[in-house]
């Protein structure tokens, strides 16, 4: 399958606005070739350090610039986090993602603890993903040495719309962290959010930047805004589920081999809308009843959803090493 890194925004906009039935057909053709077994990866998420973040991302309840009622918390120690990772593994997850509400990684004890967590999650036989803001070259190298499978750092929206959503950092800074992570040999998890008041052109432009990364990000989370009271975007109208289907389908066509993760916003989706997303190319979901601070469907409900769709859950990557903790 040919992978392209030269998609143009008009080409992408043409895909996004195809008649839906035609877009579904094209995305399906790509998806069936790339993932014939319709295997879906289950990724569990834990917020290790919550709230009090210096950045002003308009969608985020964890920013200290907003008045959402998220309470600041960072009381997870290494053993506590690894206990949660073990529970996730026992519940069937293949990947464990850990979040820190930071502008950039803090050196010292918190970073040493992060490295311990990464080693522990890997020893449990799970993929380990971290999202913690900007990363220096040496931090990226140390994370790679600890065995980190992927680093999540989203571009969130188009370069053109970025300034309307975040003023405390630039798109360029985001791209530079992505390059340092990749340079260290860590896989990239990089995607965005729809429902931030962006135009169709902005959606195409975000996908243009993502699909022109070479190689493509190994995973691409597609989030629908969870409009949290107290954030500047609290009154944004809900995303049309069919727009999410279009976004997932287009991401699949542009980045055939990447894992496209149907991320935040599933609580607001019907089973049928989620199944359409699985049909057009989503091959991963967040698994567990909370995302970072907001609700996600229960594991029980998601198992039923995947069974109803008839897709297969991916096998766990490797057996846990006995005494690995
Ligand atoms: N602080 C780090 C950063 O921004 O990279 C890591 C944590 S941050 C919460 C991770 C991602 O969560 C953001 O990039 C954004 O895509 C997503 N996110 C945060 N709040 C959201 C919301 N209300 N709805 C949808 N996605 C959201
Ligand atoms: C991503 O793209 N979505 C996840 C994960 N990466 C870190 C986070 C979603 C957060 C939704 C809002 C919340 O729960 O605070
Ligand atoms: Fe901070 Fe990340 Fe939230 Fe932005 S998205 S306010 S950087 S935690």
Sign of the CA dihedral running 259, 83, 265, 205: negative
Domain presence at residue 2: no
Domain presence at residue 301: yes
Please state, rounded to an integer, the average pLDDT across all residues of the chain: 95
190 is catalytic: no
Q: Return the pLDDT at 74.
A: 75
Q: How far apart are CA 150 and CA 177, in angstroms?
A: 13
Q: Return the pLDDT at 247.
A: 98
Decide: 17 and 205 in contact? Cβ < 8 Å.
no
Question: What is the rounded average pLDDT of the residues 79-99?
Answer: 97
What CATH number has the domain bearing residue 152?
A: 3.20.20.70
Cα 264 to middle of ligand 2, angstroms:
6
The model's confidence at residue 171, banded by pLDDT at 50, 70 and 90, is: very high
The model's confidence at residue 319, banded by pLDDT at 50, 70 and 90, is: low
Question: What is the rounded average pLDDT of the residues 155-170?
Answer: 98
Cα 132 to middle of ligand 1, angstroms:
10
Name the token pair of 252: 């699949």
Range of the domain at 227: 9-13+33-309
pTM over 0.75: yes
Domain presence at residue 18: no
The model's confidence at residue 323, banded by pLDDT at 50, 70 and 90, is: low
Domains of the chain: total: 1
261 is catalytic: yes
Q: What digits encode the pLDDT tens for the residues 193-213? A: 999 999 999 999 999 999 999
Q: Return the pLDDT at 224.
A: 98
Question: Measuring CA to CA, how many Å separate 140 from each of 77, 181, 191?
Answer: 22, 5, 19
Ligand 2 pocket residue status of 294, Cβ below 6 Å: yes
Ligand 2 pocket residue status of 53, Cβ below 6 Å: no
Q: How far apart are CA 130 and CA 156, in angstroms?
A: 17
The number of the ligand nearest the C-alpha atom of 296 reads 2
Domain presence at residue 264: yes
Domain presence at residue 285: yes
Q: What digits encode the pLDDT tens for the residues 254-294? A: 999 999 999 999 999 999 999 999 999 999 999 999 999 99
The model's confidence at residue 242, banded by pLDDT at 50, 70 and 90, is: very high
The model's confidence at residue 321, banded by pLDDT at 50, 70 and 90, is: low
Question: Measuring CA to CA, how many Å separate 46 from each of 284, 289, 293?
Answer: 16, 10, 9
The number of the ligand nearest the C-alpha atom of 132 reads 1
Q: Return the pLDDT at 72.
A: 79
Q: Using DSSP bridges, classify how beta strands 187-189 and 39-49 pair: parallel, antiparallel or unpaired.
A: unpaired
Question: What is the rounded average pLDDT of the residues 41-50?
Answer: 97
Q: What digits encode the pLDDT tens for the residues 106-137? A: 999 999 999 999 999 999 999 999 999 999 99
Q: Return the pLDDT at 68.
A: 85
CA angle 207, 102, 283 (to 5 degrees): 40
Domain presence at residue 294: yes
Ligand 1 pocket residue status of 157, Cβ below 6 Å: no
Q: Return the pLDDT at 320.
A: 63
Domain presence at residue 140: yes
Question: What is the rounded average pLDDT of the residues 53-79?
Answer: 90
Domain presence at residue 314: no
Res. 325: pLDDT tops 60:
no
Among candidate residues 97, 180, 190, 277, the one labeled active-site is 97
Percent of residues, the chain, with pLDDT higher than 90: 92
Q: How far apart are CA 289 and CA 89, in angstroms?
A: 15
Residue 220 phi, psi (nearest 5) = -130, 95
């Amino acid at each position: 399958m040919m992978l392209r890194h030269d998609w143009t925004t008009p080409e992408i906009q043409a895909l996004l606005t195809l008649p839906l039935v035609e877009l579904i057909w094209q995305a399906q053709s790509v998806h069936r070739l790339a993932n014939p077994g319709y295997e879906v990866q289950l990724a569990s998420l834990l917020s290790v350090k919550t709230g009090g973040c210096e950045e002003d991302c308009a969608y985020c309840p964890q920013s200290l610039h907003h008045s959402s009622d998220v309470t600041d918390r960072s009381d997870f120690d290494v053993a506590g986090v690894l206990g949660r990772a073990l529970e996730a593994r026992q519940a069937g997850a293949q990947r464990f993602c850990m979040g820190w509400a930071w502008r950039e990684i803090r050196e010292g004890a918190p970073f040493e603890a992060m490295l311990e967590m990464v080693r522990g999650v890997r020893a449990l036989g799970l993929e380990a993903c971290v999202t913690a803001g900007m990363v220096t070259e040496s931090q990226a190298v140390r994370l790679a040495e600890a065995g980190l499978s992927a680093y999540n750092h989203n571009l969130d929206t188009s370069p053109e719309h970025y300034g309307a959503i975040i003023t405390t950092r630039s798109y360029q800074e985001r791209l530079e962290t992505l390059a340092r992570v990749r340079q260290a040999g860590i896989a990239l998890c990089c995607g965005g959010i729809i429902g931030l008041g962006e135009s169709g052109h902005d959606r195409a432009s975000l996908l243009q930047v993502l699909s022109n990364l070479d190689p493509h990000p190994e995973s691409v989370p597609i989030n629908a805004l969870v409009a949290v009271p107290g954030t500047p975007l609290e009154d944004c109208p809900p995303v049309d589920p069919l727009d999410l289907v279009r976004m997932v389908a287009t991401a699949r066509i542009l980045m055939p081999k990447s894992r496209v993760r149907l991320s935040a916003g599933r609580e607001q989706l019907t089973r049928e809308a989620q199944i359409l997303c699985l049909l057009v190319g989503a091959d991963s979901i967040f698994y567990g009843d909370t995302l970072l601070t907001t609700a996600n469907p229960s594991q029980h409900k998601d198992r039923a959803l995947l069974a109803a769709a008839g897709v297969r859950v991916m096998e766990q990557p490797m057996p846990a090493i006995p005494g690995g903790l």
